[in-house]
Amino acid sequence: MKEGTLMRVLFCKIHCPFICFCKSSAAHLYTSGPLKLENSPHVVPSTAFALPSASDKSSTGIKEDGLNGNQEAENVLKSCIRKIPYRSEADKEVGKKRVQWMDNLGKELAEMKEFESSLKQQKSASACLLMAAVLIVPIFMILVLLLNLTIKIRRELTKKSSNLPPGSYGWPILGETMEFLGAGLEGTPEKFIKERSEKYKSQVFKTSLMGEPMVVLCGAAGNKFLFSNENKLVTVWWPSSVRQLLGHCLATSSGDEGKQMRKMVSYFVSPDAFTRLYIRTMDLVSQQHIKTHWQGKEEVKISPTTKLYTFELACRLFMSLEDQEQISKLATLFNVFLKGIISVPVNFPGTRFYKAKRATSAIKNQLQKIVRQRRAALEQRTAIPSQDLLSHLLVAPDENGKFMSEPVIVNNILMLLFAGHDTSSVAITMLMKNLAQLPDIYEKVLREQNEIASSKEAGEFLQWEDIQKMRYSWNVVCEVARISPPIIGAFREALVDISYAGYHIPKGWKLYWSSSFTHRDASWDPDYANFDPSRFEGAGPAPFSYVPFGGGPRMCLGKEFARLEILIFLHNVIRRYRWKLQIPDEKIAYDPMPTPVEGLPVQLHSHIA
């Protein structure tokens, strides 16, 4: 619309109210007295503006329905003007011009209405853009700040030491975390380290994992350095997801506190406890498990089935829990918990960490109820202090006379249930897979187990001495753990500035050692790809070159516990069944432990009545 047109319309609204096209204006004109038209010497009688009759509506263009108020008023006014009695042809010409002027004004008003409508649309679009800007700009600013912070940190780290190990920090914030986790999901966790070690031609390199600057120490030499300097140069460290989910417990503690916790737990994973508390129960539970979940079936999925066995065993041994419904509920929650234990700690609905955190909360609520019930039972003397690990944690003080708080007991039970069943079930699953693929190895293990069984009375449970006779079987288990370690590596934190292999590692930096890379390091074992249990005979592998249970002061406390539950299960299952893989080339994903993506289904063939 032109500027002049807008001014004329505004002028019209002030000086010519009867021309504003609305019903109220028309009604006013119908009832008003004599009116002198603008720029006209004539006074028009009010009767000239009488409403059109029904017979006139067709001539004026007015309809009963279908026209809006503005159009109706305009037509009425035009009709009235046409009915004005003119004294001369000149007056009649003036009347025509007035009608024409009104037509032009109507068009201009229509343009103005369209203009106003476009303004409203522009305002609406502007509001949407403003809202988008309000949401996007802060996010963009946060990303910019994080990027700048990352750059500044890296510059500061570079200033502090120009002799850092070779390597790359990867992407801002994410670092090389996705590549690290992706290698595991592909089934080759050692690939991440191998590629970078070869690229930088170094057994030590820097990277960025889990939001932290990190140095990876490769092979046996790196393992020796870290294990030998525990609590001196380095201490335990876990990613934020692990620390948040496990809470304050043995696995996340270090220094004197960590030592105190290890002492309180150590008896329940000692040979004396195995002989007195565990072996008979393990043998009984494994036989019951096979009878319930294997007997009479043609096909079994090994991974979920063995996980149920090891979890039930841990529940019974650590806290005397035998309620199958409660065990099943906890087992389901632990499966969700495990998926998020090594993950990006974003607590947002739908993420693995969010689901794991909710599962952890539910697990801790259940364990808290169990702890309180046991405390009440101990007070009422319906339970005994030596009954199991839970009772021991409730009644035994540390060297300073302090008792564990309830939250810390809950956290430690959660940690032990996790460590005491998941790694063992993974080891059993991978053992079953390899025995199915290696019939010669299967026959040798079966022969050894039958010899042990033949030396016992019918129905007699295994003893500690029987476990010690399973030498070849244990060598096979060790070889399986070498090829597919349940734990692919662990983290440490530098307590001081460290010098290693000619490079500087700043205080506060994180370090990582890898069992999966160590076990496939050709520089230590050129024959690493072959399955060979004999490598564990005699002195066994070179020191620090076989580390499925870690090493140093923080070597896994449950190593012997795992040995017992694996060998006892193997003894009972191999004497009853042969099995054939249903998916011979099934993919194994490390998520974070080696897991057959289809659960390792096998076809069972019973060979004893």
Q: Collapse the DSSP code of 492 into the 3-class scheme (helix H, G, I; strand E, B; otherwise coil) and give the result.
A: strand
Q: Are 177 and 187 in contact (CB under 8 A)?
A: no
Residues 6+ apart with CB under 8 A from 370: 319, 321, 390
- Taking Cα atoms as reference points, which of 67, 95, 70 lies closest to residue 20? 70
Rounded CA-CA distance 274/267 in Å is 10
Q: Are 330 and 356 in contact (CB under 8 A)?
A: no
Flag whether 128 is marked binding. no
The values of phi and psi at residue 594, to 5°, are: -60, 120
Rounded CA-CA distance 292/500 in Å is 54
Residues 6+ apart with CB under 8 A from 444: 472, 476
176 vs 217, 441, 511, 542, 572, CA distance in Å?
16, 40, 14, 31, 44
Rounded CA-CA distance 197/110 in Å is 76
Q: Are 278 and 374 in contact (CB under 8 A)?
A: no
240, with CB counted inside 10 A (0-12, 13-18, 19+), is middle
3-class DSSP string for 75-99:
HHHHHHHHCCCCCCHHHHHHHHHHH
Q: Are 332 and 355 in contact (CB under 8 A)?
A: no
Rounded CA-CA distance 599/501 in Å is 42
Instruction: Name the strand (E) or helix (H) holding 484.
Output: none
- Give the N- to C-terminal CA distance of the chain in Å, as an integer: 99
Provide the CB-side half-sphere exposure for 574 (13 A, CA).
28
Query: Measured at the alpha carbon of residue 441, what is the angle toward residues 437 and 444, in degrees to the nearest 5?
Result: 145
Show binding-site residues for heme.
556
- Residues tagged in the binding site annotation: 556
